[in-house]
Amino acid sequence: MLALHGVGVLVTRPQQQAMPLCRLLELQGASTFRLPAIEIHPLSGRRTLAARLGSLANFELIIFSSANAVRFGAVLLEQKRDLTLAAIGPATARALNQAGYRVAVQAADGFDSEGLLEHPALHSLTGKRVLLIKGSHGRELLPDELARRGAQVTIADVYQRERAKPTPAALAALEAHFAARAIQVITATSVEIADNLLKFATPALRAEFERVHWVVPGERIARSLRERGLPAPVLQAGSALDQDLVEAIVRWRASESGA
């Protein structure tokens, strides 16, 4: 019997990122349900942005904040392979590698701004020009801390996140799945996703959200759920990579079954 036979998982990643995770879960025997909590849209004006940035060779370091930053911002690199690139986590590094770029700076442990800032290459940045390619309205920790360490930080916003707006019919269908005990696990790979899920949850869904397990890729997201008054049990994955999320659920399932 497959490891996740009989387990239903609600996948909440953006639509275009949900399918690979769903396939991995289904290969382990899980049933998957999708409810994107955020939508990702590219920002227009990339030619204007490229002109404003000028030659990227002038930057000592170029940081990509997410796999979506790579998806919408790698075009700015113009296939130059001699730039010094940094990735905020393993999923971002993998996206750069798949696009044909080598990552020089990556957190040894962790997948967020805090982890990247621990890297020795970012400890002393006085006078260095750093380009941060990211989504709009993200966390300010990374640019603020880079500037505090002496870097001249340039921001390039290449995409925007918007809270998804599920239809009443979609929420009603999800309520029915929960009522049938078809879902045992919810994925939440960012604080924003978790927050959005709780904001658009109906009273019935909120009650179900408090009953089932949540799988998250770090203590920061787990803490945010507790701060929002969610008493649900939380499973922590090693990172936001699809495989790590699946492995966390498999470990939980094995412990529940006594395997």
pLDDT band at 111 (very low <50, low <70, confident <90, very high): confident
Do 46 and 126 fall into the same domain? yes
Q: For residue 216, tell me if it sits in a domain.
A: yes
> Residue 258: its pLDDT value, please?
59
18 shares its domain with 83: no
Paired tokens of 50? 């490229």
Average pLDDT on 161-171 reads: 94
Per-residue pLDDT for 259 more than 80?
Answer: no
252 and 220 in a single domain? The answer is yes
Each residue's pLDDT tens digit, 59-81? 999 999 999 999 999 999 999 99
Range of the domain at 234: 8-37+164-257
Q: For residue 191, is pLDDT > 60?
A: yes
**Residue 124 is assigned to a structural domain of this protein:** yes
Residue 50 lies in a domain: yes
Count of domains for the chain: 2
Is the dihedral angle over the CA atoms 224, 240, 30, 177 positive or is it negative?
A: positive
Q: Tell me the CA distances in angstroms from 46 to 68, 73, 84, 104, 159, one per residue in order.
A: 15, 9, 21, 25, 10
Strands 61-64 and 85-87: parallel
The model's pLDDT over 13-50, given as tens digits with 9 standing for 90+, comes to 998 889 999 999 999 999 999 999 999 999 988 889 99
pLDDT for res 139: 82
Last residue of a domain, one of 135, 162, 189: 162
- Same domain flag for 146 and 86: yes
The pLDDT > 90 percentage for the chain reads: 85
Residue 153 sits in the same domain as residue 229: no
User: Is the same domain home to 26 and 45?
Assistant: no
39 CB neighbour count, 10 Å cutoff = 14
Report if residue 2 sits inside a domain.
Answer: no
Map residue 41 onto helix, strand or coil: strand
CA distance 29 to 6: 7
Check whether residue 59 and residue 17 sit in a common domain. Answer: no
Q: Are residues 175 and 216 in the same domain?
A: yes
1 located within any domain: no
Its sign, for the CA torsion 160, 161, 162, 167, is: positive
Q: Return the higher-pLDDT residue of 248 and 112.
A: 248
The domain boundary residue, chosen from 111, 129, 162: 162
Residue 216 clears pLDDT 70, i.e. is over it = yes
The residue among 132, 147, 162 that closes a domain is: 162
Q: Name the average pLDDT for the chain.
A: 93
Q: Where are the alpha helices (DSSP H) in the chain?
A: 15-27, 46-53, 67-73, 90-98, 113-117, 141-148, 168-179, 191-200, 203-209, 219-227, 242-257
| Pick from 123, 89, 124, 120: nearest CA to 103 | 89
| Mean pLDDT of the region 221-228 | 93
Structural domain includes residue 74:
yes
> Could you tell me if 229 and 149 lie in one domain?
no
Residue whose structure tokens are 């020089």: 104
C-alpha angle with apex 72: 95 to 144, nearest 5 degrees?
A: 85
Spatial separation of the C-alpha atoms in residues 9 and 25, rounded to whole Å: 8
CATH number at residue 85: 3.40.50.10090
Q: What is the pTM of this model?
A: 0.86
Residue 241 lies in a domain: yes
DSSP helix/strand/coil, 133? strand
Whether residues 65 and 156 share a domain: the answer is yes
Answer yes or no: do 221 and 188 share one domain: yes
238 belongs to a structural domain: yes
228 with 193, same domain: the answer is yes
